[in-house]
């Protein structure tokens, strides 16, 4: 097939996208596909015409555009199949506050939260007990995130978010073990346990992408009952958000065994250190096998 590999983009996660695209490109070649690399930051004007001439698009974008559904909407207009969630589901899931409303509606536990907009401004009232995380309501890779432990630091954390996003999600800090659960074709993968470096307060950008970053163990060394509970919640969240193909959810497990779903990613990272490829490998899917399966699922859903 003629596959366009869409990566790069203009979000703050551009370099992460390009890093993952290198390995994806190699796997697509290994699978025998003709590959055209397409960076919407360089040539957005020709996205529709390029997609019309392709058999499939493999999207490896993070943030906006990509996870916001814009690229998917254009591909739909072009009649070009692609992997992962559609436009509407992507837009909904990228919005952390909207996702949390969906989680709560489905009785999936998630940390208490509030949404702060520029209309409220940097002097918005903090409605949650400290400490709290302050993060962009749309975005990933922990960029722009702050752990606020003192009330006087709250305005600066909001400023940091407003400089890169129109709204801030404020979320109660819940100490515990960080776990992630991926889904491929509606079926949950083994869990991955994440242990940030000892000098880090949370799983930040460096922990995620540096070669000497966080320790990641798969399958996660937790009780079978915990694994099952998280996998079941992930399946419910996946269906409630209307996702297809694949996704990955991030969880916190507290000392008392309570599980909290933080957020869901519709285009999980595909770098050499990323979590979903690691979990897929645990069930026997090599990176190239994973790419082939995502293409198969995308073609099954959208081709013809």
Contacts 24+ apart (CB under 8 A), 232-235: 232/188, 233/108, 233/259, 233/261, 234/181, 234/183, 234/188, 234/261, 235/183, 235/186, 235/188
Mean per-residue pLDDT of the chain: 93
248 in catalytic set: yes
Distances (CA, A) of 73 to 9, 41, 137, 139, 270: 16, 17, 21, 19, 22
Q: Is residue 200 very low, low, confident or very high in pLDDT (cuts 50, 70, 90)?
A: low
How far apart, in whole angstroms, are the C-alpha atoms of residue 295 and residue 24? 12
- How many Å apart are CA 174 and CA 106, to the nearest integer? 21
pLDDT given at position 127: 96
- Domains within the chain, CATH numbers bracketed: 2-84 (3.40.50.20), 92-109+174-283 (3.30.470.20), 113-172 (3.30.1490.20)
Beta bridge partner(s), residue 265: 248
The rounded percent of the chain whose pLDDT value lies above 70 is: 93
pTM score, whole prediction: 0.91
Annotated catalytic residue 29: no
pLDDT, position 157: 96
In sequence order, which residues have a C-beta less than 8 Å from that of residue 33 and are 6 or more positions away? 1, 2, 3, 56
**Greatest Cα pair distance in the chain:** 57
Q: What are the pLDDT digits (tens) for 80-125?
A: 999 999 999 999 999 999 999 999 999 999 999 999 999 999 999 9
- The residue from 269, 274, 298, 302 that is catalytic is 269
**Angle between helical axes of 224-240 and 96-105 (0-180°, round to 10):** 110
Nearest CA among 143, 140, 110 for reference residue 128: 110
In the set 39, 67, 171, 263, the catalytic residue is 263
274 carries an active-site annotation: no
List pLDDT tens digits, range 131-166.
999 999 987 556 789 999 999 999 999 999 999 878
pLDDT digits (tens, 9 = 90+) for 225-273: 999 999 999 999 999 999 999 999 999 999 999 999 999 999 999 987 7
Residue in this structure with the two tokens 């390009």, named with its chain if needed: 18
Tens-place pLDDT, residues 22-37 = 999 999 999 999 999 9
Chain segment 55-67, per-residue pLDDT in tens: 999 999 998 899 9
Residue 35, strand partner residues? 3
Active site residue 269: yes
List the catalytic residue out of 82, 91, 173, 209. Answer: 209
State the pLDDT at residue 208.
Answer: 46
Is 265 part of the annotated catalytic residue set?
yes
Per-residue pLDDT band for 204 (boundaries 50, 70, 90) equals very low
The mean per-residue pLDDT over the stretch 276-296 comes to 96
Annotated catalytic residue 250: yes
Contact present, 262 and 111 (Cβ < 8 Å): yes
**SS3 state of residue 293:** helix
């Amino acid at each position: 097939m003629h596959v366009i590999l869409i990566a790069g983009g203009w979000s703050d996660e551009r370099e992460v996208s390009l890093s993952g695209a290198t390995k994806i490109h190699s796997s697509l070649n290994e699978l025998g596909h003709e590959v055209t690399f397409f960076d919407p930051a360089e040539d957005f004007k020709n996205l529709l015409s390029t997609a019309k001439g392709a058999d499939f698009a493999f999207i490896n974008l993070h943030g906006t555009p990509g996870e916001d559904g814009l690229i998917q909407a254009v591909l739909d207009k072009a009649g070009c199949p692609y992997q992962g969630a559609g436009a509407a589901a992507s837009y909904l899931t990228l919005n952390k506050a909207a996702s949390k409303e969906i989680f709560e509606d489905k009785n999936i536990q998630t940390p208490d939260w509030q949404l702060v907009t520029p209309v409220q401004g940097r002097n918005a009232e903090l409605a949650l007990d400290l400490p709290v995380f302050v993060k962009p309501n749309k975005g990933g890779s922990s960029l722009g995130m702050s752990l606020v432990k003192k009330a006087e630091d709250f305005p600066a954390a909001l400023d940091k978010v407003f400089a890169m996003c129109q709204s801030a999600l404020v979320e109660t800090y819940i100490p515990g073990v960080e776990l992630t659960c991926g889904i491929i074709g509606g079926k949950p993968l083994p869990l991955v346990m994440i242990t940030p470096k000892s000098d880090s307060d949370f799983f930040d950008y460096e922990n995620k992408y540096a070669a000497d970053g966080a320790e990641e163990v798969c399958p996660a060394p937790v009780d079978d009952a915990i694994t099952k509970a998280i996998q079941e919640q992930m399946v419910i969240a996946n269906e409630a958000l209307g996702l297809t193909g694949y996704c990955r959810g991030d969880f916190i497990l507290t000392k008392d065994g309570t599980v909290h779903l933080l957020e869901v990613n519709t285009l999980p990272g595909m770098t050499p250190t990323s979590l979903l490829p690691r979990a897929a490998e645990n069930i026997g899917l090599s990176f190239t096998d994973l790419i082939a399966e995502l293409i198969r699922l995308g073609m099954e859903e959208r081709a013809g």
